[in-house]
Amino acid sequence: MLKLWINTFGREFYAQHAGFLLFIFYLLFGAVPPGQLLNYHITLTLAICSSPLTISVFFGLIMAYAIKSLFFMKQRIAHPSYNFVQVSAMSTKKNQLQSWIGLYAIVLCPVLLYTIIVFAMAIFHGYYYTAIIISLYITIILYGLAAYTYYSINYTFNPARQLIVFPKIGLRKPYWTWLIYYVLEMQTLMFVICKVLSFVLFKGILWMFADVGLDIRVYLIALLAAILSHSMLIAALLRFEKSNLRFTNSLPVSNSKKTLYTLLSLVTLFLPELLLYSFTANFSAGFILSGIFFATAGLLTMFMILYLLDDNMENYLKFLFIFAILSMFSILSHQFLIFSLLILIGSLIYHRYLYDHSKL
């Protein structure tokens, strides 16, 4: 059973998240000069072992990755093409749990490998309590994921009861806010995970280059990481627009208004990162204007490219990797304004093309 899960769920998970994982790998190992790589990771692992705050952040990242993998499994299991998974309920509980634990260990392999390094450093430097906590935490994570998946498959006949009913407040929802309300109401957990990951990546890059000082390139690289962390959220927005907002094609809304509404929705969802960016940059006018322009162009480009690729996630992740590399080069060479202008113009032209061909 484990081999079947790996060949189906495991392969598809890594195929869909290849670009994101490569980007994280680059941040950990490629963004650091080769001569300082070993000392950097020794310092980082020792900081995780010795500081409660650092290990809490480390555990938070593991939890975010674990929740992301769990939602991926839930989405696939609920798909009609994965109905064969229900047959696994005929197996014993022990066999099912072992298979799911093995699958989640494969899916969480990137974080587990680094966790093993941290665990070894904790043992080597005498942080035995930290080593025990890491072991217990990883065990609880793996067993918890496996147990939740097991019960979701074997006890689907038992409906969940809503213990707390929150009152619904009627608010006006202008057309441009529909995507925002969809995220806040229907994709709440994805939104929270996205924001946590975005903030951690942003602050992590600033911490990594703390000795550089107030350099706009460092802040834009951190902002780029935050933009890329919204890739799955943008994919969810596009699917919602395609499946639920088709009727808006018949509304008397011009192309310029639709473009403005799309930009307003994306920038509003990205507003917490822009506020954090402005705060850490000491509210420098040049930094703020450059960051807003760069973020707006990047978010719209990611949205329109997914339209161009017809929601093909495998090709979308390949594009994200190429986009990250090109953005990095433009930032490091101080050509980010020209780069932002070019991709923004390209996105607006393609938006106009879609509008003329009745796809929007």
**Which DSSP symbol is given to 251?**
S
| C-alpha span between 102 and 88 (Å, rounded) | 15
What is the reported pLDDT for 164? 45
pLDDT above 90 covers a percentage of the chain that reads 1
What is the reported pLDDT for 360? 47
What is the reported pLDDT for 245? 66
DSSP-H helix ranges across 270-284 = 271-280
Give per-residue pLDDT as tens, 239-295. Answer: 777 776 666 666 666 777 777 888 888 888 888 888 888 888 888 888 888 888 988
Q: What is the mean pLDDT of residues 214-218?
A: 81
What is the reported pLDDT for 110? 85
Question: What is this structure's pTM?
Answer: 0.59
Give per-residue pLDDT as tens, 62-76. Answer: 887 887 788 788 878
- Name the amino acid, one letter, at 79: H
What is the reported pLDDT for 55? 81
Torsion of CA 73, 78, 84, 85, to 10 degrees: 40
- SS3 for 58-116 is HHHHHHHHHHHHHHHHHHHHHCHHHHHHHHHHHCCHHHHHHHHHHHHHHHCHHHHHHHH
Looking at per-residue confidence, does 318 or 142 come out higher? 142
Residue 183: band (very low, low, confident or very high) from pLDDT cuts 50, 70, 90: confident
Residue 125: band (very low, low, confident or very high) from pLDDT cuts 50, 70, 90: confident
Looking at per-residue confidence, does 179 or 129 come out higher? 129
Contact 238, 307 (CB under 8 A): yes
Q: What is the mean pLDDT of residues 103-121?
A: 88
What is the reported pLDDT for 160? 45
DSSP assignment of 321-338: HHHHHHHHHHHHTT-HHH
Does the structure show a pLDDT above 70 at 128?
yes
CB count in 10 Å sphere of residue 101: 19
Instruction: Count the alpha carbons within 13 Å of 127 in the hemisphere toward its beta carbon.
Output: 20
Residue 23: band (very low, low, confident or very high) from pLDDT cuts 50, 70, 90: low
State the average pLDDT for the chain: 78
Contact 206, 222 (CB under 8 A): yes
Give per-residue pLDDT as tens, 338-351. Answer: 988 998 888 888 87
What is the reported pLDDT for 166? 44
The per-residue b/e assignment along 13-34, b for 16 or more CB within 10 angstroms, e otherwise, is beebbebbbbbbeebbeeebee
Give per-residue pLDDT as tens, 188-209. Answer: 767 777 787 788 778 777 777 7
Contact 266, 300 (CB under 8 A): yes
pLDDT winner (highest mean) among 78-92, 167-181, 297-311: 297-311
